[in-house]
Amino acid sequence: MAVVISGTGLYTPTQSISNDELVHCFNQYVEKFNLTHSQEIENGEIDALSPSNSSFIEKASGIKKSLCHGERKYFKCRHYVATLYRA
């Protein structure tokens, strides 16, 4: 049996996104989704989405912030939520 070192080092991005920022974006999506689908929600066809909060994320996962690759200034709520809910 041979030992192979296929990589060395660890890259840690310098940019991060706080849970508060993620929750803000997600809650914007929730508000828009519930408003757009209000009739279906009222008719019981689909469930309304519930907003989240930072303390839930930290308690459930232990994550306080997410590291991201690339320029922090390009983070957009709509892009994040679209990526999160892509089918």
In a domain, 46, yes or no: yes
Band (pLDDT 50/70/90 cuts) for residue 47 is very high
The whole-number pLDDT of residue 45 equals: 97
Average pLDDT of the residues in 26-51 = 94
In a domain, 5, yes or no: no
Statement: residue 87 has pLDDT above 50 = no
In a domain, 30, yes or no: yes
In a domain, 58, yes or no: yes
- Residue 55 domain boundaries: 15-84
CB-count burial class (<10 Å; 0-12, 13-18, 19+) for 39: exposed
Say what the pTM is. Answer: 0.66
Highest-scoring range by mean pLDDT, 19-33, 46-60, 73-87: 46-60
Number of structural domains, the chain? 1
Number of Cβ atoms within 10 Å of the Cβ of 54: 16
Residues in the chain: 87
In a domain, 8, yes or no: no
3-state class of 2 per DSSP?
Answer: coil
* Contacts (Cβ under 8 Å, ≥6 apart) of 13: 67, 68, 69
In a domain, 71, yes or no: yes
